[in-house]
């Protein structure tokens, strides 16, 4: 009976050890998922990249709609037409089109950088380094901030007095995109967004290799 009790305890101990180790093993393929900020940084980078990519796609496939928007904003023809401000207006069609094409090219570039960053985040979440993902996200998000913050809010909104126009006013959309990119940039640079810095093994990246357990003594026989 004593020998049977020891065998039962050994089996129960083995089951308990298997249950305790089942959780971490389940995450070995995606060790970075344990760190919430890393997953959040990847997701928010993907959202911003998708928004910019769709904006660029819309401008390319429906070129004329936002072309009119850019022309009216630069011409300042729907503002209060204050003589003290109208000298800022750009009425040359060539310059207006050049600005619009430049905006589209900037959007395409920013979207490409951000989508590349998403791919790098996916690699980082599987146990790789988050340094390249963070750098790519930073470049792409800063490009978005410059486009919507500097380009639309500062230059379009203030210099060309877009805030005075009821018909051609893109300040709300620009503010949303600016805040979204800024939030993503903050999350990307949180210290824990890089994921856990843990040594890994070739078959289980990100999970430290445990030392070999000491040999179990054999059970006594009656």
pLDDT digits (tens, 9 = 90+) for 95-107: 999 999 999 999 9
Please report whether residue 159 resides in a domain.
yes
Please report whether residue 18 resides in a domain.
no
What is the per-residue burial (b if ≥16 Cβ within 10 Å, else e) of 177-208? bbebbeebbebbeeeebbbeeeeeeeebbbbe
In angstroms, rounded to a whole number, what is the distance separating the alpha carbons of residues 143 and 105? 12
Please report whether residue 129 resides in a domain.
yes
pLDDT for res 4: 52
Domain range for 103: 35-194
Please report whether residue 24 resides in a domain.
no
pLDDT for res 126: 86
59, 101, 55, 99: which is closest to 75 by C-alpha? 99
Please report whether residue 80 resides in a domain.
yes
Please report whether residue 202 resides in a domain.
no
Give me the number of domains the chain comprises.
1
pLDDT at 62 over 50: yes
Over range 183-204, report the average pLDDT.
Answer: 67
pLDDT: is 91 or 199 the higher one? 91
């Amino acid at each position: 009976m004593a020998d049977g009790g020891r065998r039962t305890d050994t089996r129960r101990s083995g089951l308990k050890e298997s249950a305790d180790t089942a959780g971490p093993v389940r995450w070995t393929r995606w060790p970075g998922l344990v760190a919430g900020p890393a997953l959040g940084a990847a997701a928010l980078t993907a959202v911003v990249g998708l928004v910019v990519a769709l904006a660029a796609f819309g401008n390319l496939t429906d070129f004329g709609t936002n072309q009119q928007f850019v022309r009216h904003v630069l011409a300042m023809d729907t503002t209060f037409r204050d003589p003290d401000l109208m000298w800022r207006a750009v009425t040359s069609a060539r310059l207006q089109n050049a600005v619009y094409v430049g905006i589209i090219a900037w959007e395409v570039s920013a979207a490409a950088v951000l989508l590349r960053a998403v791919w790098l985040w996916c690699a980082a979440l599987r146990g790789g380094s988050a340094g390249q993902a963070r750098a790519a996200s930073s470049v792409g998000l800063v490009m978005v901030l410059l486009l919507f913050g500097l380009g639309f809010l500062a230059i379009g909104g203030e210099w060309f007095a877009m805030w005075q126009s009821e018909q051609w006013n893109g300040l709300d959309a620009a503010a949303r995109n600016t805040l979204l990119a800024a939030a993503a940039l903050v999350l990307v640079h949180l210290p824990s967004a890089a994921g856990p810095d843990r040594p890994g093994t070739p078959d289980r990246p990100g999970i430290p290799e445990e030392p070999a357990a000491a040999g179990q003594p054999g059970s006594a026989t009656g």
